[in-house]
Amino acid sequence: MNVHVPQWPDLIPTLGGWTSEVRGQLIPNQPLDEMTTLRVGGPAQLFFRPVDEDDLAFFLKYLPAEIRVTVIGLGSNLLIRDGGLDGVVIRLPAKGFGAIDILDGHRVRAGAAVPDVQVATAAAEAGIDGLWFYRGIRGGIGGALYMNAGCYGTETRNRMIELRAVTRQGEIITLSNEQMGYLYRKSNGPRGAVFVSAMYQGFAGDSEKILTEMRTVTERRESTQPTRAKTAGSTFKNPEGHSSWKVIDEAGGRGFTFGRAQMSEMHSNFLINMGEADAFEVETVGESIRQKVRDKHGIELKWEVRRMGHFLPGREVREFMDGAPFTGAV
């Protein structure tokens, strides 16, 4: 990126002596671009990588309630703006949150930092069917729990039994599937809770058949999607009764380019960073596509990629290119 990114004021001196008891890493002004698959975004005011569940709970318990907390996983469904994120950004490391346990009754427990594909593979090798759909999702379990990730007719809510989380107040809790209030690509769990692990229910299956199906999924994805590009995956949710890629195609959005960002020519619902794009260029492509589809079909596409953070001055992106800048986090 070739944009000037201002530095945030250091939060650590304002927090008090309790931070010396935190065992994980606390890093002021940590760059976040390399932590997302789009490879864009400004710094975190304070970045926290906890050692384990108890470390996370201690940190959240003592962190003042007025400080914003943002959790990022593998960054595969995320667009962080060039001005970065104020407050604290938490990322759970594989060490401490990356275990996979095969349980009795065709159940699987997985940490939030585990890539979805690893859960699919571990379940298949154990003869557990029902989780192979995770092979088609480019992300981690934490993000899948948050957004009810799914593909090929199955969603997270169809397999997740319960999850463990740490509340914003530092309490470790267990949430049922029902308590998560899942909808299409959305959850409604406790605001501010950090998901740390989940238990899934599968069913008996033949390992070789499942692994063969997973290989088919991989081949299908690689032949139709820009899997090796800097991308956040599917950009927009499917509108009711339509496919996003199709309405984008019909609106002339395939291959649309602004700066160093493009709506993929290979798959028209994949936004890609063609090299050294910044978040402004990427989000501009997305809102331009929304404008094209609205003008052509009267359909207002909804982002599936989570957008968050601050715009740099003079580089705000307006909704549909003609509305107000969207400044919230989704």
Which residues belong to the active site? 185, 234, 304
Which residues fall within 8 angstroms of residue 280, CB to CB, at 6 or more apart? 3, 81, 82, 259, 311, 312, 315, 317
180/183 Cα distance (integer angstroms) = 9
Q: Using an 8 Å Cβ cutoff, are 93 and 233 in contact?
A: no
Strands of the 160-166 sheet, one edge to the other: 100-103, 107-111, 194-201, 160-166, 172-176
CA–CA dist 120, 204 (Å, integer): 14
Phi, psi angles (nearest 5°) of residue 43: -85, 160
CA neighbours closer than 13 Å in the CB half-sphere of residue 89: 26
Alpha helices in the chain (DSSP H): 12-15, 53-62, 94-97, 116-125, 141-147, 207-224, 244-250, 279-297
CA 187 to chain centroid:
13
Q: How many CB atoms lie within 10 A of CB 237?
A: 16
Neighbours of 58 (CB within 10 A): 19
Q: Are strands 78-80 and 69-71 parallel, antiparallel or unpaired?
A: unpaired
